[in-house]
Chain A
Amino acid sequence: MAGEATRRLGRGGGTALPGLVARTLAPSLVESLASQPGQGLVTVTGTNGKTTTTHLVAAIATAAGMTPLTNRTGSNLERGLVTALVDAAGPDGRIADAASTLGLFEVDEAALPALFPRLRPRVAVFLNLFRDQLDRYGEIDSVASGWARMLDAGAGTPTLVLNADDPSVAALADHARGPVVLFGVEDRSVALTLAEHATDARFCACGARVKHEAVTMGHVGWWRCDACGRSRQAPQVFARRITLSAESSEIEVVSGEEQATLLLPAAGLYSVYNALAAIAAGRALGVPLATSVAAIAAAGPAFGRQERFEVGGRAVRIWLAKNPAGLNEIVRALLAAGRPLQVLAFLNDGIQDGQDVSWIYDADLERLTPRLERLTCAGARADDLALRFHIAGRTPDETIGETGPALDAALAATPEGGTLDIVATYTAMIEVREVVAAHAGERSYWETAR
């Protein structure tokens, strides 16, 4: 296939080209391939956590005896989906083992409305809606109203898996044609004491201002609208108690009548939300909680999301940061380590990163600066990032645009036995992960991710 050809030509991963070719040759290909998986389709969308949640649902589905068919490399527009389907189909256009196959796709939040009626998912997961790449998506409200119109237009009776704590996601329950599974956090000890700056959904669907009794992140939390009476509804899948630590989280999970303790091998409250979303999706697919919890505990991190490597006697952790809400959560997770930090931060401004780099001013980097022992700023917009830290009160130790030299310098400055935390935007993450993985003796990303 074209993917093999581009990979052999050494021109990147070739994760979208077959889709482009197939879409041109057979425009109804999506419909004919998407109707084949016997276990139906799951879509996962939202601003943050798509890749990780999809990764966790795949682990759950596998543990439950299904064969997940996913678009794993974050190729989440139509072309990436078509590529995954085409790659799974034989020369006769049939997907092998179709009976056990579960189509499982992370879908770009703006691309979902066009794809939804063609995929006709059995389960549709909506994670959250934060400001992200406004240069690409336009306003947050337009994404939310696009989802609502898409559901009103109808495409079967999918089970909606919704974040009860995010008012703009929870509001989709009003547009459901099938069952709704809500997930959320019930442990108020993880609520923020200070409101974060990057708060988005401040107005209810009725137009009045949403009030928060407490927030877990951004505008996500215990919300209500006094004008129309809408309020956060009790979720069926929830974390009753959460203990966050530097590298992992312990969560008491309740799913309907079932209860279990999940030892999640990932840091940060946002990772807890991803796990709850995956468990709720498992519930919608009829998977017992114990199966889901065991599968998540055993699943490694998704590509470039809190992935750990060992390079020259130093631990290297890679964090993908692409918007203020995500970066704020990473800052919180980093602070949980409770030790001085060595950080290599990358800011790129490609189309996949967002050409507008102003979002770094919406992230609360002021909270991170007191803990920085060493800071290297890197990437195409290293100078913008250096200025952001300078204004936040921490002048970087060095500013190096290029990936290789920046990584070398940051590694050299990290004491042996220490940890280097790399925080990077999307294209920078791909670049630096490849170099790190090469140092750790790993293969290129499209080979390991497939």
Chain B
Amino acid sequence: MTSERPSLGTIRVVSLYDDVMSVYADRGNLLALQHRAAVLGVGVEVTRVSLGDALPVEADLLLIGGGQDREQRRIAEELVTRGPKLRAWAEDDVAMLAVCGGFQLFGHWYRDGQGETLPGAGLFDVTTVAPGPGWARCIGDVLAVSTLDDVGEVVGFENHGGRTYLGPAARPFARVEHGFGNNGADGTEGCVYREAIGTYLHGSVLPKNLPLLDHLIEAALRHRYGADVRIAWEQDLYATRAHHAAAEVARRRAPRFEGVARP
């Protein structure tokens, strides 16, 4: 069916629970991936995995988004049983992007407003606490600088009640310049473990953060083909302009992060 033969190979992508875990347009990440991969000459095979479906034997890139509380409770139960396989994938350097609720559920546990604890997949060394009534959700534009050298400045929108705290084995995905980040206190945003990235950024995050998208595609190619694959940078004016527009908005209306603790 494809008119052009992929020149850099094909990556196997698992889109996990995208029928229930895409409340903040995380689907845009898959659309952007397919669009960008076609430009770069990378083939994409997508397997959508929902509640009750088996995971494929192998994957090079996994995407998971965020859902509502009620949906996430059902997902959490299943993720615990999928935990060993997901952790094995992470150790094997499968590229992953877990956004918002997906990020929380990939941690050790999530404690909701009533004090009930939901165990997670245990892939990231992070824990999340919903502080309960009286605490505002963290909602707004975000501008952050990634700890990954090839990713740089990232922009997006966050909307989460839970406050996430990093354990000793986790390193932040980014440092917040405008916005709340993981918990509004320590200036960290998201988490990186090997090739897996967790983040609160949606917006969707991949369409307007091309270096992050390329980083994930490269990692997926490396996982599949082993070699030290390098993607040649391909300009995309639309993505660049949208990135700058979002960064400008975040600078204008999101509070500058003034936290003192910077681990």
Contact = CB atoms under 8 A, between A and B. Distances in A.
B241 A358 contact: no
Contacts of B244: 383
Contact of A386 (B20, B140, B238): B238
B25 A386 contact: no
Contacts of B239: 387, 390
A94 interface: no
Given A357-B203, A386-B238, A387-B208, A362 B22 contact: yes
Most chain A beta-carbon contacts within 10 A, residue among B25, B71, B208, B242 = B25
A391 B24 contact: no
B204 interface: yes
Contacts of A349: 249
Nearest to B29: A361
Given A141-B68, A391-B32, A383 B241 contact: yes
A179 B141 CA distance: 45
A72 interface: no
Nearest to A393: B35
Contacts of B262: none
Contacts of B22: 197, 362
Interface string B59-92: 0000000001111001000000000000000000
Contacts of A386: 238, 241-242
Contact of A358 (B20, B137, B203, B245): B203
A386 B253 CA distance: 22
Nearest to A391: B35
A141 B73 CA distance: 13
Given A356-B157, A362-B25, A395-B238, A384 B69 contact: no
Interface string B179-210: 00000000000000000000000111001100
B19 A359 contact: no
A139 B208 contact: no
Contacts of B35: 390-391
Contact of A135 (B19, B157, B208): B157
B154 interface: no
Q: Which of A139, A358, A399 has the most CB of B within 10 A?
A: A358
A207 interface: yes
Interface in B1-57: 19-20, 22-25, 27-28, 31-32, 35, 51
Contacts of B204: 358, 361
Contacts of A388: 28, 207
Given A391-B35, A391-B207, A358 B242 contact: no
A360 interface: yes
A379 to B, nearest CB: 11
Nearest to A136: B139
A251 B75 CA distance: 42
Interface in A189-205: 197, 199, 202-203
A378 to B, nearest CB: 13
A202 B25 contact: no
A361 B31 contact: yes
Given A349-B249, A355-B141, A384-B208, A131 B70 contact: no
Contacts, number: 94
Contacts of B51: 209
Interface in A380-432: 381-384, 386-388, 390-392, 395, 399
A204 B107 CA distance: 28
Contact of B207 (A199, A361, A382, A399): A361
Interface in B209-248: 236, 238-239, 241-242, 244-246
B25 A387 contact: no
A387 B140 CA distance: 21
B159 interface: yes
A209 B199 CA distance: 28
Contacts of A358: 24-25, 28, 157, 202-204
Interface string A197-239: 1010011000101000000000000000000000000000000
A349 B245 CA distance: 12
B241 A141 contact: no
Contacts of B28: 358, 361-362, 388, 391
B141 A138 contact: no
A134 B23 contact: yes
Interface in A339-395: 349, 355-362, 381-384, 386-388, 390-392, 395
Nearest to B204: A361
A140 interface: yes
Given A134-B23, A358-B202, A362-B25, A139 B207 contact: no
Interface in B125-151: 137, 139-141
Contacts of A356: 24, 139, 157, 159, 202-203
B68 A383 contact: no
Nearest to A401: B245
A202 B140 CA distance: 27
A392 B27 CA distance: 12
A131 B157 contact: no
Contacts of A392: 31
Interface of B: 19-20, 22-25, 27-28, 31-32, 35, 51, 68-71, 74, 137, 139-141, 157, 159, 202-204, 207-208, 236, 238-239, 241-242, 244-246, 249, 253
14 contacts: A134-B23, A138-B137, A197-B27, A203-B74, A207-B70, A209-B51, A355-B157, A356-B24, A358-B157, A358-B204, A361-B25, A362-B27, A381-B245, A384-B242
Given A134-B23, A141-B69, A355-B253, 18 more contacts: A135-B139, A139-B23, A141-B68, A202-B19, A203-B70, A207-B70, A349-B249, A356-B24, A356-B203, A357-B157, A358-B203, A362-B22, A382-B245, A383-B244, A384-B208, A386-B241, A387-B239, A399-B241
Interface of A: 131, 134-135, 138-141, 197, 199, 202-203, 207, 209, 349, 355-362, 381-384, 386-388, 390-392, 395, 399
